[in-house]
Each structure stands twice: as structure tokens, then as C-alpha cells.
A and B are shown apart, each in its own frame.
Chain A
């Protein structure tokens, strides 16, 4: 079993769903975790749940560059970053607008890219560090209504490959995870707009829907030195959805 003892990780969107579980899982492995999200109370609830350790949380909006810069100023280097914060919006292509594109891309794409830029420029990622981007299986499919979300997640996959190659000299790795449906507060959103019930849609998943633990298990591996030879990949984690 690999060790993350005393390693320092940053998890964006640590206040809810998958990011919450990733943070808890890393804490259990002895890591020191810094969680970020907009809602301070929810972040504090997660850190209160976490195992002893020097965990921190910072509340700010990843789409506001002055807030990102203020956060960056207070940091010391991390051994790994989990770019997990994201939003979903379901919209048929005929309803797209500049505003709608920005709403999704500002968080899912620019939020991750500009945070990464600041971390690298300020040398806040240690040699041998690992970057994990949470994309989505939607980026590889054509589910009606998901164009903006899918495109923002595909953009992150493409971006992460270039990051992997630019940072390889420093032995910093970058990988993407593309999960299928994992039950979290975000999926409640999908339920609001889908005329097919979540229960019926689960039949498409040979292994059923995922749990946040299924994603955090892969994240901990990617953050560990055991995965030292893995970089620039998109890992599909979908309970067999795409086998069909």
C-alpha cells in the first residue's frame, strides 16, 4: 500500500460530493489537505470531519482572479493538486449564448487553468508532484443537452495533456479522470432536468452508478509516487457505461 503521509495536497471543490470524499480520503492516508470552495461553512464541516492533521480551508470563487491571487500569496508548495471544482448546466444547443458559455467555462475550464498557471508561476508545485483533473465521461459522449459541460470537460482533458508534457522535465505529472455518474449533490441537478429517472438511467451502467469513494481511490493512487510513470492520460472510470 502506498503512503501519502505528510504530503501536502490542494483540493478544489472540497466542500461537497467528490471533492469532499477526496479530501477525507487523503486525510485518512496521513496527508495534509487544503480545501477550497466558495462556501466556508461547508468547507469547515468537511475539515471537522477529517482525521487529525494540519488541514486548512479557504473560501473564494475560482472565477475571481483577485481572490485566486490572494489565496496563492498565502501558500507554500504542494505535492499535488486535485482540480475538482465544477458546475453542470444542461442546455440544448439552440439556447446557447455568450453568457451561458462563460458561466460553464469560467469554472470548469478557466477556473482550473488559471489556478494551475498561478501555482506553476509561483513555484508552488514540488518536483515529482502530481496534478489530477476531474473531467467527465460526458466529454467523450454526445448526451443531448450537455454540449457546454462536455466541451468544457474535453477542453480540460486536452489541456492536461499539454501540462503533462510541459512539466515532465520537472517530473510533475498530470492526468485526467473521466467519471460516469457518481451520486452527489450535482446529480440532483440532473434529476431536475431529466425526464428519465436516475433509477432508470442506472440500467445503462453494468456496475451501477459510482460512489465518491470510487473516484477518491483513483485520485489517491494518482497523487502517490506509485503512479510515477503515469502522465498525460485520460482515465475512464464509469462502471462499464462505455462498454456498450
Chain B
């Protein structure tokens, strides 16, 4: 799993947010567009791309994309 691809896939779940503004160090929950539907889209993307299940609790316990990336890596 490549970091760059993960950031790109994560950013794709937003429609209004400039993908360029999203990086591994972004606090995603602070993004204006972050919502329960975007969260659900990220979960579905992670399941589809990496075959890993992440939950709302994982988002609660993460601040940045890097934190989510680490959680997925541990479950690969």
C-alpha cells in the first residue's frame, strides 16, 4: 500500500475540497466537508481498495490521514 495512493484515494471521497490541500498530515475531521457520508465513503474505499474494515471508532481515534494509514497497515 503506497502512501501517495492512499492520500489520493482519501481525497477522492471529497467533492468540494481541493485534493491538493489534503496530505498525510491533514487533520481530516477539521475539513469543512468532513461528514458522516464522507466517513462512510472512506470506509467503503478502504474496504474496496485494501480489503480492510475500518470503523467510526477508528476515525475517532485518529487525527491525521497518517493515523488512518497506520491503522489500515496493521490490518493488512
Contacts and interface: CB of A to CB of B under 8 A. Distances in A.
A192 B36 contact: no
B7 interface: no
B27 to A, nearest CB: 15
Contact of B36 (A91, A94, A95, A144): A144
Interface in A185-244: 191-196
User: From DSSP, what is the main secondary structure of chain B's interface residues?
Assistant: helix
A145 interface: yes
Interface in B18-54: 35-37, 39-41, 43-45, 48
A195 B40 CA distance: 9
Contacts, number: 36
Interface residues of B, number: 15
Nearest to B45: A95
Contacts of A94: 41
A92 interface: yes
B37 A193 contact: no
Interface residues of A, number: 13
B55 A193 contact: yes
Given A144-B36, A144-B37, A95 B48 contact: yes
B32 to A, nearest CB: 15
B44 A194 contact: no
A159 interface: no
B33 to A, nearest CB: 13
A192 B57 contact: yes
Contacts of B55: 192-193
Contacts of B40: 90-92, 144-145, 193
A152 B48 CA distance: 22
Contacts of A91: 40, 44
B56 A191 contact: yes
Given A91-B44, A193-B55, A195-B59, 8 more contacts: A91-B40, A92-B40, A92-B44, A144-B40, A192-B55, A192-B56, A195-B39, A195-B60
Interface of B: 35-37, 39-41, 43-45, 48, 55-57, 59-60
13 contacts: A90-B40, A92-B40, A92-B44, A95-B45, A95-B48, A144-B36, A144-B37, A145-B36, A145-B37, A192-B57, A193-B39, A193-B56, A196-B36
